[in-house]
Structure 1
Amino acid sequence: MSSTTRATLIDPERAAESNATAFLTVICVFWSLAFVTACVRVYTRAILVRSFGKDDTFMVLAVLCGVAGLAAWIVECKNGFGRHIDTIPRSEFAKLMEAQFYQNVLETSFAFGFLKVSIALSLLRLSKGKWYHRILWTLIGFTCFYTIFAFITFLTYCKPIAGQWNPAVRGTKCYSRAMYRNFGLFNVACNILTDVSFATLPIPLIWSLQLHRRIRLYLIAILSGGYFAVALGIAKAIFIIAYVHETDGTFFPWAPFFGSLQLDIGIIAACAPTLRPLLGRVLRLSTTFDPYRGANYYRAGKALNRLPVTGNSARGYLRQNTGSGAFVELAKGGKHWTAAHRGDLTFLATAVHAEHATNQVQGSGEKSSSDVDAVLPLTDTPGFKGILKTIEVRVEK
């Protein structure tokens, strides 16, 4: 049938029907929220607390893949998504299918993979427990496995690959719709499993931390946002199951729609806990009005890793300059704890005995804990007279 004859058989009202604007608007709104949250996370980690780590790098990779997914949505909606499949010209439909292929590779496989690895690496910061680490590294390995599996599936769906969107390619061999559906369900099931694991695993650990209850509830509530991603994954699975019998999938592209929302919600839920140093005062999540104190709890871990190790343990004090926000270690030397100077932090007194420092804190009427403001006299510091407010943290490795 020629294109002219085909055009005369299409109802003009049916051809004018389109959901493209509605779908694209919702996608853009949620993606904008996810993108802004990720940008604020990068600012907080890289500029405010200067603790940009591997988990942040993987989050940036996930966001970049998400940008490619948004670009694919724009192309898809321009070339057929939201319209009835029998009203889409063949040339536009080919562009839609090509854009969907790249969306599947970059967003459905790699973006989710990078996101889950980022979440796991972030959770590794919470505890040094052996079993906790083993579980998280197992989940990272599992995530890498099904991400690579999804990538290979999309590459081998049709041979040659261009046959997925170009009907002019001869000799194309593709999976059946049922097999493609099964591959999609496997990928969704893996995403749901990891979402549930990452949302549930840290809850007992966070609740056991010596933090204000308000902070613990905030972190648990944010991490529980992963359950919204689980709900969206279930919705996506329902429409993937219906894919085999779908005859007008472009008019309501629910499966890719819920998949994109699942990614956006996952990015927001993963980035929100890292914003506490920036939003702590606004949301009353800080234990004090000292912004540096709440902002540098990530960097304490890095300073801890530099403490001297004796056998299987290392003990010492970390003292934080509330002016610069940096940590400096107090290394054990003989019977005394001596300040190890780092950078411009030359204000620390030398030969500070561990027990004497603890007694000074207790004698000032303050609580002796890892979260106490100590006003300690400094001696033997050339050119300095008086006292300097510091934060002293007892740490063990």
Structure 2
Amino acid sequence: MAGGENRSWVIETVSWPLFGLSAVLVVLRLWTRTRIIRSLGWDDAFIILALVCACVNSIMITISAHYGTGRHANTLTEYQQIMSTKYNWLSQGFHVMSSNWGKVSVAMFLLRIIRKVKHHKMAICGGMVLLTIINVVCVYTIYGQCTPTAKLWDTSVDGSCWDPGVQKNYAFFQGSSSAFSDLVLALYPLHTIYGLQMARKVKFGLATVLSLGIFAMVAAIIKTINLASLSARADYPWKTVDLAIWIEVEQYLIIIAACIPTLTPLFNIAIYKRSSKRNASSGKKVYTGPQYGRSDGYAQFGSRPGQEYPLDEYSGDIWTTRKDGDGNSDDPIITEEGGQGIMKTTEIHIQTGSMAERNDSRP
């Protein structure tokens, strides 16, 4: 490798566009929750915390790149080596907690879906607590492996450090746990949605948006493979550049995957209005019913005049399909069967037990 190689720009090119996209999605999520469905939750608070931690991580790794991360150590001054290594290490704890809070947000979103399934709720809560403990310990191993911590990036400081393999091995364990949790959070919605009574294309769409965490799992696996660079003290600024890149990718993919499912009310409004215009031009009506106060398929939503929202977000019932007059089996209708269904946040509330038991439990 040539001594003048420089990959610092790659870190910045990856970090800030992903941050911008994540920030836009978080803002849209909060706008949707506050202005459309008017239902903020703890999952929203944790996704904000995840974004803040990710932003601090990106700022620090950008400073680290400015001082030399992405270049070979022999091309840097002693001061540049110390500062690039310092901010590189400092950034990693914020990444760990950003990923943790992002997963907690996803898990709490799932809890809103399965509020009726108590044993699933206990499993998800227990998993969140266990994962948070693993990640907090990981942060300790990052900043506590040297006493004082400054010796981690400046070997001239008096003190002592663990064997580099100790922190690296725990980082492997934490990275593997993180990837496994992404897999569980991605597959769980598939399990819960599989048995629901709804149009096939709606079921497929929900399964897709709720399982986007699979991409974060792939990033977590690649990041974990690159954790071996943590023990590369000889050329740390260069050896850790791939790790820094995949750290950025993983933390922002978690945030993106957590936000997209919460934006379905916005998508529904846009799609439904387009569909309504087409139906109006063709003379076909959809979602009719005097029980909802209107004949055009919309129900009044919120307190402001003229604010309307599609019925699938308003009625609390679930989707099903039927053969209607034109023979289209995928046209959705509103049904009372199944009790709790697609709610104001497009969240499907899953509950166990027979249909009779569910009907008996309804107010």
Q: TM-score, normalised by structure 2?
A: 0.73
Retained in 1: the 8 A contact 2:85–2:236?
no
Residue in structure 2 matching 1:121, options 105, 108, 123: 108
Percent identity reads: 23
Retained in 2: the 8 A contact 1:212–1:287?
no
Residue in structure 1 matching 2:98, options 108, 111, 132: 111
Q: Which residue of 1 aligns with 2:193?
A: 206
- The CA distance in 2 between the partners of 1:370 and 1:216, in whole Å, is 17
> Given the alignment of the two structures, is residue 265 of structure 1 paired with residue 242 of structure 2, yes or no?
no
Q: Could you report, residue by residue, the CA deviation over 1:85-137 in whole angstroms, capped at 9, with x for unpaired residues?
A: 111112122222221232122222x1112111111100001121122112111
Retained in 1: the 8 A contact 2:56–2:91?
yes
Residue in structure 1 matching 2:139, options 145, 151, 155: 151
Residue in structure 2 matching 1:322, options 299, 308, 312: 299
- The CA distance in 2 between the partners of 1:139 and 1:190, in whole Å, is 11
How far has the Cα of 1:193 moved from its partner?
1.4
Q: Could you report, residue by residue, the CA deviation over 1:142-201 in whole angstroms, capped at 9, with x for unpaired residues?
A: 12211221122123111011212233421x211212112101101101101111110111
Please show how residues 87-102 of structure 1 align to structure 2 within 5 Å.
87-102=75-90
Q: Which residue of 2 aligns with 1:77?
A: 65
SS at match of 1:119: helix
Higher mean C-alpha displacement, 217-226 vs 69-78:
217-226
Q: Could you report, residue by residue, the CA deviation over 1:308-357 in whole angstroms, capped at 9, with x for unpaired residues?
A: xxxxxxxxx9999932337xxxxxxxxxxxxxxxxxxxxxxxxxxxxxxx
How far has the Cα of 1:245 moved from its partner?
5.5
| Amino acid corresponding to residue 174 of structure 1 in structure 2 | C
Residue in structure 2 matching 1:177, options 164, 168, 172: 164
| Amino acid corresponding to residue 35 of structure 1 in structure 2 | A
Please show how residues 230-245 of structure 1 align to structure 2 within 5 Å.
230-241=217-228, 243-244=230-231
Residue in structure 2 matching 1:51, options 29, 39, 58: 39
How far has the Cα of 1:212 moved from its partner?
3.3
Residue in structure 1 matching 2:206, options 193, 196, 219: 219
SS at match of 2:221: helix
Q: Could you report, residue by residue, the CA deviation over 1:214-245 in whole angstroms, capped at 9, with x for unpaired residues?
A: 33222211233211111111111222135446
- The CA distance in 1 between the partners of 2:181 and 2:194, in whole Å, is 21
How far has the Cα of 1:283 moved from its partner?
4.8
Specify which structure has the bigger relative contact order, considering alpha-carbon pairs within 8 angstroms and separated by 6 or more residues.
Answer: 2
Q: Which residue of 2 aligns with 1:25?
A: 13
Retained in 2: the 8 A contact 1:35–1:63?
yes
SS at match of 2:237: coil
| Amino acid corresponding to residue 3 of structure 2 in structure 1 | R
Q: Which residue of 2 aligns with 1:14?
A: 3
Q: TM-score, normalised by structure 1?
A: 0.67
SS at match of 2:46: helix
Q: Which residue of 2 aligns with 1:136?
A: 124
Retained in 1: the 8 A contact 2:56–2:94?
yes
How far has the Cα of 1:247 moved from its partner?
4.4
How far has the Cα of 1:288 moved from its partner?
7.9
SS at match of 1:322: strand
Q: Which residue of 2 aligns with 1:382?
A: none
SS at match of 1:166: coil
Please show how residues 333-344 of structure 1 align to structure 2 within 5 Å.
none
More helix by share: 2
- The CA distance in 2 between the partners of 1:220 and 1:25, in whole Å, is 31
Structure 1 pair 223–106 and aligned structure 2 pair: CA distance change class (3 A) = same
How far has the Cα of 1:80 moved from its partner?
0.7
Retained in 2: the 8 A contact 1:113–1:143?
yes
- The CA distance in 2 between the partners of 1:182 and 1:224, in whole Å, is 29
Retained in 1: the 8 A contact 2:82–2:153?
yes
- The CA distance in 1 between the partners of 2:235 and 2:154, in whole Å, is 19
Residue in structure 2 matching 1:86, options 70, 74, 83: 74
Retained in 2: the 8 A contact 1:30–1:264?
yes
Retained in 2: the 8 A contact 1:280–1:286?
no
How far has the Cα of 1:251 moved from its partner?
2.7
| Amino acid corresponding to residue 107 of structure 2 in structure 1 | A
| Amino acid corresponding to residue 324 of structure 1 in structure 2 | F
**Structure 2 unmatched ranges of 5 or more:** 278-290, 304-332, 340-359
Residue in structure 2 matching 1:39, options 18, 27, 30: 27
SS at match of 2:235: coil
- The CA distance in 1 between the partners of 2:122 and 2:292, in whole Å, is 28
| Amino acid corresponding to residue 181 of structure 1 in structure 2 | K
Q: Which residue of 1 aligns with 2:237?
A: 250
Q: Could you report, residue by residue, the CA deviation over 1:287-307 in whole angstroms, capped at 9, with x for unpaired residues?
A: 989xxxxxxxxxxxxxxxxxx
Q: Which residue of 2 aligns with 1:196?
A: 183
- The CA distance in 2 between the partners of 1:286 and 1:395, in whole Å, is 38
| Amino acid corresponding to residue 219 of structure 2 in structure 1 | L
Structure 1 pair 371–200 and aligned structure 2 pair: CA distance change class (3 A) = closer
Bigger Cα Rg: 1
Retained in 1: the 8 A contact 2:11–2:244?
no
Structure 1 pair 157–89 and aligned structure 2 pair: CA distance change class (3 A) = same
**Structure 1 unmatched ranges of 5 or more:** 1-10, 290-316, 327-365, 373-393
| Amino acid corresponding to residue 369 of structure 1 in structure 2 | E
SS at match of 2:113: coil
